[in-house]
Amino acid sequence: MVNRWTKEQMAARVARDIPDGAVVNLGIGLPTLVSNFLPHGREVILHSENGVLGMGPAPPSGEEDYDLINAGKQPVTLLPGGCFFHHADSFAMMRGGHLDICVLGAFQVSVRGDLANWATGEPGAIPAVGGAMDLAIGAKQTFVMMELLTKRGESKLVAECSYPLTGLACVSRVYTDMAVIDVTPAGLRAVELIDGLSLDELTRLAGVPIAPAPGDDR
């Protein structure tokens, strides 16, 4: 049985890579956890695509204001220095490359960094895209947080995405429950593996080539 990082450990690992001063958008779902692990003393500005910079944590129970919500429509707060703006401005700052990092969930990531995270393409499913396509291509760096394998044991790292694409060649780094992996022009490259996992075993589970981390001769 291969060791797995918990969701909280994955979130803490992502948080470690977010530098002081970064402007960051955390996608709905797993990425939202990252905000709980940003180290004290590190000042990070959170963006929410419905029109907030400087988003703070959820308010105490009883103090929810549903005019102040995040992209998941959950109540949030505003930090001192934070501000509001309209939707076209919000997506302009994203598309215009003014966000440093965006963290997204995914169904699949290809070896070229193509992302599939908005639809499974099942017949009869109600489609919904929201800001996924804008987020995928907008930030300077797009991080993906996902379990390496589906519940059926299939790898979410793929040669070609079989699910509908969200964006082409947009993912820079993938944080899974077993390894952190960079997407480079030469393909996937390991950054960090969970204790006890060899690169050979990771590559076998992932089903796609993954180069060793620089200086790693495991």
Partner 1 sequence: MIDKTVSSPEAALADVPDGATIMIGGFGSAGLPAELIEALVAQGARDLTIVNNNAGNGDTGLAALLKARRVRRIICSFPRQVDSHVFDGLFRAGEIELELVPQGNLAERIRAAGAGIGAFFTPTGYGTELARGKETRVIDGRGYVLEFPIHGDYALIKAERGDRWGNLVYRKTARNFGPVMASAARITVATVHEMVPLGALDPEAVVTPGVYVKRLVPIPRVATQPVGVRPV
- By CB under 8 A, which span of 35-43, 62-70, 102-110, 175-183 interacts with partner 1? 62-70
What are the DSSP E strand ranges found in the chain?
A: 23-26, 45-48, 52-56, 77-84, 101-104, 108-110, 115-116, 141-145, 157-158, 173-175, 179-184, 187-193, 210-211
Identify the residue whose tokens are 């969701």.
7
* SS3 assignment, position 127: coil
Closest CB 96 distance from partner 1, rounded Å: 10
* Single residue of 46, 94, 99, 149 touching partner 1 by CB under 8 A: 94
Q: 42: Cβ–Cβ under 8 A, 6 or more apart, which residues?
A: 18, 19, 20
Q: Is 154 a catalytic residue?
A: no
Q: Which of 8, 43, 49, 201 is catalytic?
A: 49
Question: What is the torsion angle, in degrees rounded to the nearest 10, for the CA atoms of residue 107, residue 86, residue 139 and residue 160?
Answer: 30
- By CB under 8 A, which span of 33-41, 73-81, 179-187, 203-211 interacts with partner 1? 73-81
State the number of CA atoms in the 13 A half-sphere of 13 facing the CB.
25
**Residue 138 in contact with partner 1, rule: CB under 8 A:** yes
**Residue 69 in contact with partner 1, rule: CB under 8 A:** yes
**Residue 129 in contact with partner 1, rule: CB under 8 A:** yes
Q: Which is nearer to partner 1, 184 or 198 (CB)?
A: 184
Name the site residues for partner 1 (rule: CB under 8 A): 48-52, 64-69, 72-75, 78, 84-88, 90-92, 94-95, 124, 126-134, 137-138, 164-168
Q: Active-site residue numbers?
A: 49
